[in-house]
Amino acid sequence: MYVDVKSTGEAHASSGDGRYAGTKLSQSRSIPAWDDVAGDLDLRTSCFESHATIITEDDDADHVFRIRSGQVMLYRLLSDGRRQIVDLLAAGDFFGMSTTGSYDCSAEAIGAVVVDTIRQSCAPASDGLQAHLNRCLVQRVEALHSHAALLGRKSAHERVSTFIMRFVNGRGQVGCPGPKSGDAAVVVLRMTRQEIADYLGLTIETVSRVLSDMKRKGVIAIEKNDRIHIGSVCRLCKLTGVH
Amino acid sequence: MYVDVKSTGEAHASSGDGRYAGTKLSQSRSIPAWDDVAGDLDLRTSCFESHATIITEDDDADHVFRIRSGQVMLYRLLSDGRRQIVDLLAAGDFFGMSTTGSYDCSAEAIGAVVVDTIRQSCAPASDGLQAHLNRCLVQRVEALHSHAALLGRKSAHERVSTFIMRFVNGRGQVGCPGPKSGDAAVVVLRMTRQEIADYLGLTIETVSRVLSDMKRKGVIAIEKNDRIHIGSVCRLCKLTGVH
DNA sequence: CGTTGGATTGACAAATATCAATCATGGTGG
DNA sequence: CCACCATGATTGATATTTGTCAATCCAACG
């Protein structure tokens, strides 16, 4: 009714899943359906293929974007080329908001992406958009807090474990449903080792070594470089540093 | 006129300074003055002394807070006690918003702090509050992106330099006004070495060593542990990794 | 069947953490 | 007023983690 995810395309197993499930924020009840909001907004819809750049850091912040389907990564570059992927976004998420007049980071499509494009200039007019934006922004802030804790305080093993757990259906952030053993899972990584490394603040070699180590210890098995088989989700979860 | 910082208490040299200066976001023009918004909100005002805990991670997210004066740090704890300070807030900033029903991190006063307390339940009603929240949230997201880049990709020297630059009036984020040499400055650190370390994702010893190293090289001089004299802001700025 | 780009592995180097003294500094009580 | 204490900061020696550089490896594709 007041949640729009279902109507905006498939939910990727890899990120958007269950994002709004269990939301208790009182505000939720008053947020209108996105489709109703969108009607007043003079949207354009754009498609991007894998690895296409959607926005570039420091460009004029002309538009705000809302993801219809697919995943988007936001990244910052240091002057010498070091890259930090600062956030991973999925269907329903917004990006491109700015307080400075230019984008604070670049956005690149992970796989094919469809976005709604909203002109910055007509954004303030819509209270419905404000409500959707604010919910998304609070979610982003929460995710960025988690990510700061990961980047600042977690070991390489904990970072990689956390990253994999992120894609295990429903788990990860919300808290395990308890240690029921033997719960296996398969997740598909849609990012290259380089992208994973740039997200986790590590090098490609360290990511590779940690994955190999987890293979050796039987925590995971890797098929075709991007399918991770998890023997026991609980066991993996214990490696994340959260519990 | 439509910016409220001036009316809500002294601007600390250490953080809130010039936060809204130069904002080009078209939305700004339509944001009502905070005092006008506040009138409808049934606010309570609370004071906290230095190091007081204002909210605790995982507690019920009953209230949203707006800082009238002073600084607040937000932090996450890992189960084994590792702490990451995820954000530093100043006058005009909001915290305590949640999508889960509980706070995602703890908040502690840095020095004396005065906050306006807004009941979560009456927050959605106010469009003016939504507009203020929106601006603050976008700012927080931008700051958290910067911080992720720092934590994920910068060396200890770059982190400490960036941290000090943050408190140099006006500079830091926006971009240097050019290399005019001989521009000295003094900043006062209102945080202990432990807090700085927990913010920068380092240990107290590393922070101390980096500061000593910068002293040895003549980049800074330290007086009474918390006053940093900067010989050339430009020189310091070049150490941040941004340029 | 060779080529190519991403991934893995190994040897080694560099950065940062850890553990343990020692050093200020400010406050307190004699 | 001064010695003592407590707390935070600094420094040193060493360990650990992660990065760097270089050599394969592997799978997809022409």
List, as one string, the DSSP characters of A47-108: EE-TT-EEE-TTSB--EEEEEEEEEEEEEEE-TTS-EEEEEEE-TT-EE---SSSB-SSEEE
Nearest partner of B19 among B147, B138, B183, judged by Cα: B138
Interatomic distance A149 CA / D17 C1' (Å): 18
Residue B170: the pLDDT is 59
Residues 165-194 of A with CB under 8 A from B: 174
Mean pLDDT of chain B: 85
- List of chain A residues whose C-beta atoms are within 8 Å of the C-beta of residue B104: 142, 145-146
* Ramachandran angles phi, psi of A55, nearest 5°: -135, 160
**Strand partners for A114:** A47, A69
Interatomic distance B224 CA / C27 C1' (Å): 16
Q: Which of B74, B99, B141 sits opposite A23 (nearest CB)?
A: B99
The Cα B7–Cα B27 span in angstroms is 20
Residue B195: the pLDDT is 98
Distance of CA A146 to CAs A74, A162, B24, Å? 16, 10, 29
Residues B32-41 have pLDDT tens digits of 888 888 877 8
pLDDT (mean) for B188-207? 97
Share of chain B above pLDDT 70, in %: 83
With vertex at residue A149, the alpha carbon angle to CA A102 and CA B98, rounded to the nearest 5 degrees, is: 70
Residues B1-25 have pLDDT tens digits of 333 333 333 333 333 333 444 444 4
Residues near chain D (nucleic strand), Cβ < 7 A?
Answer: A 155-157, 201-203, 205-206, 224-225; B 192-194, 204-205, 207-209, 211-212, 222, 225
Residue A112: the pLDDT is 95
Residues A73-113 have pLDDT tens digits of 999 999 999 999 999 999 999 999 999 999 999 999 999 99
- B150 vs chain A: nearest CA distance in angstroms? 9
Residue A64: the pLDDT is 96
Residue A40: the pLDDT is 79
- pLDDT band at A41; cut points 50, 70, 90: confident
- pLDDT band at B230; cut points 50, 70, 90: very high
Residue B28 pLDDT greater than 70, yes or no:
no
Residues near chain C (nucleic strand), Cβ < 7 A?
Answer: A 192-194, 204-205, 207-209, 211-212, 222, 225; B 155-157, 201-203, 205-206, 224-225
Buried b (16+ CB within 10 A) or exposed e, B176-214: beeeeeebebebebbbebebbbbbbbbeeebbeebbeeb
Interatomic distance B205 CA / C20 C1' (Å): 13
The Cα B77–Cα A145 span in angstroms is 11
pLDDT (mean) for A164-169? 91
pLDDT (mean) for A215-228? 95
Residues A175-205 have pLDDT tens digits of 455 555 568 999 999 999 999 999 999 999 9
Which residue of A lies nearest to B202 if distances are taken between CA atoms? A152
Residues 208-237 of A with CB under 8 A from B: none
- B100 vs chain A: nearest CA distance in angstroms? 5
Please report, to the nearest 10 degrees, the dihedral formed by the alpha carbons of residues B239, A150, A153, B214 taken in order: 0
Share of chain A above pLDDT 90, in %: 71
Residues A126-163 have pLDDT tens digits of 788 888 999 999 999 999 999 999 999 999 999 999 99
The Cα B21–Cα B93 span in angstroms is 15
Residue A20: the pLDDT is 44
Residue B5: the pLDDT is 32
Residue A182: the pLDDT is 63
- List of chain B residues whose C-beta atoms are within 8 Å of the C-beta of residue A147: 144, 148
Q: Could A84 and B133 be called an inter-chain contact, meaning their C-beta atoms sit closer than 8 Å?
A: no
Residue A176: the pLDDT is 53
- The larger pLDDT score, comparing residue A38 to residue A220, is at A220
Q: Give the nucleotide at minimum CA-to-C1' distance from B209.
A: D10
The Cα B233–Cα A110 span in angstroms is 40
Which residue of A lies nearest to B97 if distances are taken between CA atoms? A138
Residue A11 pLDDT greater than 80, yes or no:
no
Interatomic distance B225 CA / C25 C1' (Å): 10
Residue B204 pLDDT greater than 90, yes or no:
yes
Which residue type does A108 have? E
Q: Give the nucleotide at minimum CA-to-C1' distance from A209.
A: C8
- A66 vs chain B: nearest CA distance in angstroms? 15
Residue B152 pLDDT greater than 60, yes or no:
yes
Residue A227 pLDDT greater than 50, yes or no:
yes
Percent of residues in chain B assigned helix, strand, coil, to nearest 5:
35, 25, 40
Q: Report yes or no: B128 and B210 within 8 Å, Cβ to Cβ.
A: no
Residue B9: the pLDDT is 35
Q: Which two tokens stand for residue A80?
A: 């010498």
Residue B212: the pLDDT is 97
Q: Give the nucleotide at minimum CA-to-C1' distance from A155.
A: D17
Residue B74 pLDDT greater than 70, yes or no:
yes
Residues B98-116 have pLDDT tens digits of 999 999 999 999 999 999 9
Q: Which of B26, B134, B149 sits opposite A137 (nearest CB)?
A: B134
- pLDDT band at A48; cut points 50, 70, 90: very high
Residues 52-91 of A with CB under 8 A from B: 74, 76, 78-80, 82-84, 86-87
- Counting one residue from chain A and one from chain B, the pairs whose CB atoms sit within 8 A come to 170
Q: Which of A74, A99, A131 sits opposite B135 (nearest CB)?
A: A99
Interatomic distance A209 CA / C17 C1' (Å): 21
Q: Could A84 and B127 be called an inter-chain contact, meaning their C-beta atoms sit closer than 8 Å?
A: no
- The larger pLDDT score, comparing residue B230 to residue A13, is at B230
Residues B130-141 have pLDDT tens digits of 999 999 999 999
Exposed (0-12), middle (13-18) or buried (19+): which is B42, by Cβ within 10 Å? exposed
Residue B150: the pLDDT is 98
Q: Could B243 and A79 be called an inter-chain contact, meaning their C-beta atoms sit closer than 8 Å?
A: yes
Residues B156-183 have pLDDT tens digits of 999 999 999 999 975 444 445 555 556 8
- pLDDT band at A7; cut points 50, 70, 90: very low
Residue A19: the pLDDT is 41
Q: Is B47 on the interface with A (CB under 8 A)?
A: no
Nearest partner of B158 among B200, B199, B120, B118, judged by Cα: B200
